[in-house]
Structure 1
Amino acid sequence: MSAGSTAAQHVSLEWDERGGVTVHMDGSPQSHVQPDDPTLLVFEYVQHLALAIDTMPPGPLGVTHVGGAGLTLPRWVEATRPGSPQIVLEPDEALTELVRRDVPLPRRHRIRVRPVDGLTGVRALRDGSADVVVTDAYAGGRVPAELVGTAYAHEVARVLKPTGIALWNLADEPGMRWVARVVATVATSLPHVAVIATHEVLKGRRFGNSVLVASASPLPAEALRRDVARANLPTGLREGAALTRLVAGAKPFDDRGMQSPPPPEAGKWRAR
């Protein structure tokens, strides 16, 4: 692999021999883009986000993304649901400039990037304007506190259509106690919740990502179970009683939230 161009010290692009590019932020891989095939999703958590979106009815979707990075998921939505109006809230203008210059978006897309932070940007959106709200934002390798607080969860619920879904990409240590508190927090505004992750993460074997799915309406549980069972990676779903056990005793965050635990050193993500 060869290093790509750099717009700022904390952002870089790394191209591989297949023509794909990984966006690194603060020294950590943030997202991967395959420009000639936006349906190819490399990172496991992005596959899980896509899996959840696939349970929505066919056709274009209004999607708001909190966090931009390589714009991997917006590209996937555009490829699989052409004409979908999408808003990306990404305050790092250097990152957006670098990605859009070196990894251009497809022609005739409806992806609009706004240079604002997630909480500010979501607050400015209309009630019931989104089919999907995806929160996938990290700073220094950690989810910012304000994106898992009760105030943010309330704003996401306001912006969603009645049958819409909200998704969070979360990262936690074995035991998932921080994730449990996020689930408890989100459930105060969006009571129907589920968690998708690899079996290793759900069983507490390593630090890793999980995707929280939440809605004001009952989730398409059967479709989620089916798609999880078909996932390329060994993937599990926690819902109902299993999720209740996971979050037992978890206290919701206040408006300020709490940032996610710091990631371990590279190569030390396994617990045992």
Structure 2
Amino acid sequence: MTGLAERISLERDERGGVTVHLDGAPQSHVQLDDPTLLVFEYVQHLALAIDTCAATPAPARLGVTHVGGGGLTLPRWVEATRPGSPQIVLEPDVHLTELVRRELPLPRRHRIRVRPQDGLTGVRALGSGSADVVVTDAYAHGQIPAELSSAAYVRDVARVLTTGGTALWNLADEPGMRYTARVLSTIRTALPHVALIATHEVLKRRRFGNTVVVASARPLPEDELRREVARANLPTGLRLGRDLDRLVAGAPPLGDAGMPSPPAPDARGWRVV
């Protein structure tokens, strides 16, 4: 437990929310009295994608696998909007999970099961066709681990999805979006129908930031996605079809080793002037 206090901390705000900090960076935000209140922009985009692309609409239950646990923000949201949904969370950081579950307890009668496994190992162990949604939102030392962008991992995610299931990735990248383009190219080898959701500044390549990849073996509900993105609280954009083709053009798929995401710059380097 040496150094745990420096690695993991909880910051409470005046509204009753709690931000989980990991290695000095804000990792997730939890609102215990209202799990549907999502503060981080990319978490709002993940929720939008689940609501729009899930095989069955809310409040029907969904089988969801989360790669990366953090404060368990998205599993709490799924439980609040689709009570009783069976969820698996793959989170190798046992100390983080213990702290979160002790200080930020999960709701009663939930079906959220946290397994102390990394994403690659955990997804490989899952049964074929066992998840309606697989969410990959995992970082180590501020970067997405290389194996979570690998062709091998993408194949396993595709295998685990039910027919018509949806895979989501939270990617962080520099303004050029070269890493995102290569990951998209890799995902499309197994899940050919793909869309990208992010704030306008990120999609216009003006700043370092997060994008949410939506992928499926079946066509996505593009009209519904456009409508929901247009209604988003934040200035949000969508890339699919030819717009996405232009982004991916010339970007070779990654092999079975994958590659880590670019490290985040300091605050002054997040925006292109």
Name the TM tier (shorter chain): over 0.9
The residue aligned with 2:103 is 102
Structure 2 distance, partners of 1:198, 1:21, is: 24
> Mapping of 1:229-244 within 5 angstroms?
229-244=230-245
The residue aligned with 1:21 is 18
SS at match of 1:54: helix
Structure 2 distance, partners of 1:266, 1:12, is: 20
Give unpaired runs (5+ residues) of structure 1: 1-5
Asked if residue 124 in structure 1 is aligned to residue 125 in structure 2, the reply is: yes
| TM score, norm. by length of structure 1 | 0.97
Structure 1 distance, partners of 2:108, 2:267, is: 37
Q: Is the Cα contact below 8 Å between 1:8 and 1:94 reproduced in 2?
A: no
The residue aligned with 1:207 is 208
> Mapping of 1:102-251 within 5 angstroms?
102-251=103-252
Match of 2:46 among 46, 49, 56: 49
Report the CA distance between 1:269 and its aligned residue. 1.3
| TM score, norm. by length of structure 2 | 0.96
Asked if residue 262 in structure 1 is aligned to residue 259 in structure 2, the reply is: no
Identity %: 76
Structure 2 distance, partners of 1:127, 1:78, is: 23
RMSD of equivalent CA atoms: 0.9
Q: Is the Cα contact below 8 Å between 1:21 and 1:32 reproduced in 2?
A: yes
Match of 1:39 among 32, 36, 46: 36
1:146-181 CA-to-partner distances (Å, cap 9, x unmatched) read 000000000000000110000000000002110000
Aligned residues: 267
1:84-106 CA-to-partner distances (Å, cap 9, x unmatched) read 00000000000000000000000
Structure 2 distance, partners of 1:144, 1:209, is: 15
SS at match of 1:195: strand
Q: Is the Cα contact below 8 Å between 1:122 and 1:155 reproduced in 2?
A: yes
Q: Is the Cα contact below 8 Å between 1:7 and 1:98 reproduced in 2?
A: no
SS at match of 2:46: helix
